Amino acid sequence: MIRHILKMIQSQFRSNTWVLAELLVVFVILWFMTDYFLMQGVLMNRPVGYKLDNVYQAVVSLRSSDNPSFVRYEEGSEEPLHNFERLVERIRQHPDVEVVGLSYFSLPYTRSNMTNGVWRDSVQLNIRSMLVSPDYMKVFGIGTASGGSSEELGAKLPAMTNQTDMVVSAGVAETLFGRTDVVGSELIPGGDSVPRHIVAVTEPVRNDEYSIGHRHVVFSLLDLPFMCSQWGMDEERFTSVQVTFRVRPGVSSPDYAQKFLREMKRQLMVGNFWVSDVESYQKVRADFLANSLETSSRKLFSALGAFFLVNVFLAVIGTFWFRVNRRRGELGLRMAVGSTRSGIQGLMIGEGLLLLTLAALPALLVCLNLVWMDLLSTSVMAAGAGRFLAVSLLTWVVLAFVIFLATWYPSRKASRLEPAEALHYE
C-alpha cells in the first residue's frame, strides 16, 4: 500500500510540492515549540527538594518606635535576643507543632537570597549561601543525597562551626566533583583562604520549579548569639530571621493558619516582637509561582503555541479538504472498480501521513543543523541524541494527529458518495 501511495504522490508531484513545502516549514517551527515546552516540562517535574505539606511560616514584625508600648533597651542589652528566642519557643511548645526551623534569607519560593562563591582548585562556582538552624532540615523534609533522613542531616549542623564546616547540595557536589559522596572533601569560600570541610551532602534542592541556577546551595549554621556578636543586637535585624514550623499530620486545614494566629495572638507578643501573620507554605508557593515572570512567559508562549496549532490545523484541513474534494472523480472510479469505503478513507489518511513523513526528512536535517549551530538552550538538558529524537517524535505525532483530523472528515464524506454520483466529478 505504501508503494501505491508513493506512486500516487509522484503522479501529482507538482501539486504535492507545495504541500510538502508547507509541511516542512510547519514541522521546523513546531519542532522548536515542542522542544521549548518539553524542556519546560522536564524542568517543572524535577524535584525541588522541599516538602511543603503541613509547613507554615510565621512572619515576625517589630512594634513601631512611636507606639506607647514600645520598650527601649540599653545599648548592648541581650534582651532583644532573649525575647526573640522566647517567641520561637512559644511556637515550639504549641501542641500541634512538631518542629520549628529558623533561617536568614534562606527560604524557598522567595526572591531574597544571599549569594557567594566557592573554589575547588582553580574552579569557582557561584552558590546560594543559606544560614539555617538544624531543625530547618526537618521542617522542609530535606534528606541526604544517599537517601538519609532529614533528622540525620539536621544532626550534622549542631556540630558545625561557621569557620570550618559546611553542608552542600547535590548540585554543588556533582558540578565540582562529579559525584555526591564527597563528605570530608574541602572547598574554599569566596573571599576567604581557609578551606571548609563538607560534613554532609543534601538531596538536590532549588528555589522553585523554574529555578536552574539556584540548585547550587551551601548550608551553614545559623547561630543567633554568634550573629548578634558579629552584627549587634539591632532589633530590626531579627525581623529578617525567618520562622517556619511543621505541624502534626492531620492537623492542617484551609483555615488553620488563621486559627493558629487567633489562638496564639497574645502569646506571640514578646517585648517589641509580634507575629503579624501566619501563612501556609503551600500558599506561599502558589503566590510566588503565580506572580513569577516565568509563569507569565509560559502563559504567553502557551497562548502563541495554541494560536499556531489552530492556524496549522486550519491550513492543513483546508489543504487536504481541497485535495479530497478535487479528487472525487478518482475516488468514484476506485469505488466503481471494487474499493471499499474504509479502503478509500484509509488511502486518503495514509497519503497525508506519508506526505508528512516525506516532509519531515528534510525538516529534520534543518533542525539538526540548527542544533549543531548551538541555537537550542542547554540550561535544562544537553542537546543530545535522546533529546533530538524525543522532540522529533513528539513533533511528528502532533502533526500526524492534526493531519488525521484534517483528512478524516473529508475522506469519510467522500467515501459515502455513491460511485455513480462521484463519477460525475470526473
378: Cα within 13 Å, side-chain hemisphere: 9
Assess if residue 108 is contained within a domain. Answer: yes
Q: Are residues 129 and 170 in the same domain?
A: yes
Residue 14 and residue 80 in one domain? no
Buried residues in 74-110 as b, exposed as e (16+ CB within 10 A):
eeeeeebbebbbebbebbeebebbbbbbbbbebbbbe
Note whether residue 286 is domain-resident. no
DSSP 125: E
What's the pLDDT at 345? 72
Residues 34 and 68 in one domain: no
pLDDT of res. 394: 95
In a domain, 177, yes or no: yes
Task: Give strand ranges (E) for 170-248.
Answer: 186-189, 196-202, 217-221, 241-247
Contact 351, 320 (CB under 8 A): no
Q: State the pLDDT at residue 89.
A: 95
In a domain, 62, yes or no: yes
For residue 21, being part of any structural domain is answered with: yes
162-217: per-residue pLDDT in tens?
Answer: 567 889 999 999 999 999 999 989 998 877 778 888 999 999 999 998 887 557 99
Residue 176: per-residue pLDDT: 93
- Tell me the residue length of the chain: 426
Q: Would you say residue 327 lies in a domain?
A: yes
- Residue 314 shares a structural domain with residue 356: yes
Q: Which domain holds residue 208?
A: 55-280
Mean pLDDT of the chain: 84
93 and 267 Cβ atoms separated by less than 8 Å: no
Assess whether pLDDT exceeds 70 at residue 2. no
Residues 206, 59 share a domain: yes
- Note the pLDDT of residue 122: 84
**And the C-alpha cell for 366?**
534543518
Choose one of 232, 249, 280: the last residue of a domain. 280
Identify the sign of the CA torsion 139, 142, 148, 154: negative
Look at the chain and report how many structural domains it folds into. 2
Give the three-class secondary structure for 265.
Answer: coil
Domain boundary among 280, 301, 327: 280
Check whether residue 180 and residue 273 sit in a common domain.
yes
CA pair distance 201, 219, nearest whole angstrom: 10
Do 6 and 37 fall into the same domain?
Answer: yes
53: left (phi > 0), else alpha (psi -120 to 50), else beta?
Answer: beta
Q: How far apart are CA 261 and CA 57, in angstroms?
A: 11
Same domain (yes/no): 358, 217: no
Domain shared by 81 and 212, yes or no? yes
> What global pTM score does this model have?
0.80
| pLDDT at residue 298, rounded to an integer | 82
Torsion sign over Cα 397, 402, 403, 407? positive
Same domain, 31 and 159: no
* Residue 418 domain flag: yes
Same structural domain for residues 311 and 386?
Answer: yes
Q: Are 132 and 169 within one domain?
A: yes
* 280, 314, 344 - which closes a domain: 280
Q: Is residue 383 within 8 Å of 371, Cβ to Cβ? A: yes
Q: Which residue has the cell 549554621?
A: 221
* Residue pLDDT, tens place only, 93-134: 999 999 999 999 999 999 888 888 998 988 889 999 999 998
- pLDDT at position 53 is 93
Domain presence at residue 359:
yes
The contacts found for 112-118 with CB under 8 angstroms, 24 or more apart, are 113/207, 113/214, 116/189, 116/190, 116/191, 116/218, 117/189, 117/190, 118/172, 118/176, 118/187, 118/188, 118/189, 118/190, 118/218
